[in-house]
Amino acid sequence: MLGHDEHIYIYIYIFFFSYDTAAFVSGRAISREAARKRRRVEADVFADLCRLLPLRASVRDHLDKPSVIRLALCYIRLKALLQDEMYVSKFFMGRVDAMAAPEETDFYLTVLEGFMMVLSSDGDMMFLSDNVSRYLGLTQTELMGHNLFEFTHPCDHEEIRSNLRLSEEEFWSDAKRDFVVRIKSTLSLRGRSTNLKSATWKVLQCQGRARPCAGPSVPPYLLLTCRPLPVSHTLLCARTFSSQHSMDMRFTHCDHRVLSILGYTPHELVGRSIYELCHTLDTICLTKHHINLYSKSQSVSGRYRMLVRGGGYVWVESHSAVIPGARASKSRTGGLQPLLILCVTYVLSGVEEPFLQLSLNQ
C-alpha cells in the first residue's frame, strides 16, 4: 500500500525526472554513462511504483510508464474517496463487495448484466469493474484514470455534465441518476476486438446515485451501473407486448397481448399516439425517452404509467429502438428506407386505482 512517504517519493521523482530531462536536452556536459544511469534509475523507480499498485502480476507486466503514473494517481484518489486501504485493494481487483468471495462477485456482475463505474465530479473514471472488457472490449486498466468525455459521443457531453452536477437540494442526499449515453466499443458484431480507431458507438443505460463525500477536500462522485441496451428482447408471456410506432410515437402495429393488459384491441390503437395512453404526470419521462430515441437510436423509458380501459393504470417500462422500415415499393431500390420505432413494453404491476378514470379514452 502507498503510504505518505511513497506519495512524496512519487512527486519528488516526477520533479527530478522533468528537471533532469530538461538538463539533458539543453546541456551538452552530460555524458553517455550519466544518461544510462538516469535511465536505470528511472526504470527502477517505475518498477517499484508498479509493484506497489494493487493489480494482478499479469496486468502489471504489460503497463507502460504513462499508465503506471495514471493508475497510481487514480489509486490515490480512490483511496482518499473510500478512506479504507482494504477496500481499495478489493476494488482494484474488480470486486463489488470488499468482503465478498471472487465467485460471489462474478455472480453479482453477471446478474447486473453490465459493469460498475465510479465517476468523479469532473468525469474522470476512478474505477471500473473488471468485466468492462466483456461489454466494451477495453480493459479496466485502459480506462481507469481517463476522462469519460474522451470515450463518449460529443452530443452526449452536456447530458453527462448535467448528471455530474449536484444541486443544493441533492448535495446531502443520494441523488438518483438515470441516463443513456453512447460510448466507444472495440467489439465487433461477431465479438472480436478491434483497435480504438475502428471503435463503434455502444448505447449504455447508466443508473446509480450521486454521492457527496464526508471530507471537505474530496469532491462528490457518481456510483453507476452501466448496462448495454440489448438489440433483441424476450417476450415474457402475457406480461409483455411489442408494438411499432411512427417517429411521432403513433401506433402502426401492436401484438394481441395488449388486449389482456390494457383492454384495447390492436386495431383500436393503430393511429393513436402513445401519449394518449400515458399518465399526465409521466409525460416528461416519456418525452425524454422519445428525445433519446431521436438522438441515440436506442433508449429505455424508465417506469411510467399506461392507462387501462375502464379505469386505472399499470406501471410499465419500454425498451425501444429506431429501425429502418420496409420500402413502400419493391421496385424502388434507391432512396432511404423510412424509419420506425420498435418498442417492447414490460408490465411491472397489476391494475392500480381500477375505478379512477383519468381520460375520456378510458
Q: Where are the domains of the chain?
A: 84-228, 237-347
Task: Say what the pLDDT of residue 147 is.
Answer: 93
Amino acid letter for position 257:
R
Domain covering 237-347: architecture: 2-Layer Sandwich (3.30)
pLDDT at 223 over 50: yes
Task: Say what the pLDDT of residue 99 is.
Answer: 41
Say if CB 151 and CB 205 are below 8 A apart. no
Ramachandran bin of 297, using left for φ above 0, alpha for ψ from -120 to 50, beta for the remaining angles: left
Task: Say what the pLDDT of residue 104 is.
Answer: 58
Rounded mean pLDDT, 92-100 = 45
pLDDT at 178 over 70: yes
Name the band, by pLDDT with cuts 50, 70 and 90, for residue 15: very low
Cell 471503435 sits at which residue?
Answer: 199
Instruction: Return the CATH number of 84-228, one of 3.20.20.70, 1.10.150.120, 3.40.1390.20, 3.30.450.20.
Output: 3.30.450.20
| Percent of all residues in the chain with a pLDDT value above 90, rounded to a whole number | 30
Average pLDDT, the chain: 79
- Could you read off the pLDDT of 266-316 as tens digits, one per residue? 999 999 999 999 999 999 999 999 999 988 989 999 899 999 998 999 999
235/85 Cα distance (integer angstroms): 45
CA trace torsion 236, 238, 242, 243 (10° rounding): -170
Task: Say what the pLDDT of residue 6 is.
Answer: 56
176: nearest Cα among 200, 211, 204, 150: 211
pLDDT at 233 over 50: yes
239/260 Cα distance (integer angstroms): 9
Rounded mean pLDDT, 234-262 = 87
Would you say the CATH fold of 237-347 matches that of 84-228? yes
* Grid coordinates belonging to 150: 474522451
pLDDT at 231 over 50: yes
Task: Say what the pLDDT of residue 19 is.
Answer: 47
Distance, CA of 164 to chain centre: 13
Does the pTM surpass 0.85? The reply is no
Q: From residue 72, how far is each of 198, 232, 293, 352 by CA, in Å?
A: 29, 40, 39, 53
